[in-house]
Amino acid sequence: MEDFRLYINTLRHDFAKQTLSKKDVNINPVLQFEKWFKEAVDSQVNEPNAMTVATATADGKPSARILLLRNFNESGFVFYTNYTSRKGTEIKNNPSCALLFFWPELERQVRIEGVLFKQTAFDSDVYFKSRPRTSKLGAWTSQQSHVIANRNVLDEEYQKLSAQFPGEDVPRPQNWGGYTLKPISIEFWQGRPSRLHDRILYTKENNAWKIERLAP
């Protein structure tokens, strides 16, 4: 274990690809995110819409997992999940949430904090209809975060549902749908040499965005 600790402590990467300054960013953080997201896509970042979603219980016990961003605009950042999962239960009791995007190929992070709102049934239906049939059946099959006896439970339930819904017209389960995170702060992080990274923070104040630089 001592050798492993030493190995971990020698892992180093000095960031030197790009810079980020207040004068260069868009006054609108959503448009700045769109710019960076497009650059991540153009750079062929592996799953650029993958993000860490951090939630917490009502008494503040945190949990985090990787999900996929499915839309973003001035209203917020959208993802989909099972409402009765661990995260769904936590969101119901504590809607505060944080998102984290990490694009190592560009030496960038984006941190977003805000409050989650459940999408309308109509909006969730629209997205659900766009999913592949296998993903639709998967949403029905898994009682996400609940204990199951073994893998066979999933496989047998999937086969049963596949026979029940033989075509593409699989309805959305009522316990599955979308959330929109309405941001109150968005931070853009650009790696720089000597760990003196560039950090630009947008904070929502009186329906306007204040832009500040943070120490790394």
Contacts made by residues 46-51, CB under 8 angstroms, sequence distance 24+ = 48/101, 48/103, 50/101, 51/79, 51/99, 51/100, 51/101
Nearest residue to 188 (alpha-carbon basis) of 64, 66, 79, 102: 102
Tokens of residue 78, six digits: 């959208």
Whether the CB-CB separation of 189 and 199 falls below 8 Å is answered with yes
Q: CA end-to-end span of the chain, whole Å?
A: 31
Active-site entry in 111, 133, 172, 195: 195
195 is catalytic: yes
Nearest residue to 115 (alpha-carbon basis) of 88, 101, 94, 90: 94
Secondary structure (DSSP) of 15-53: --S----TTTS-SSHHHHHHHHHHHHHHTT-SSTTEEEE
Nearest residue to 84 (alpha-carbon basis) of 149, 141, 143: 143
- Report the catalytic residues: 195
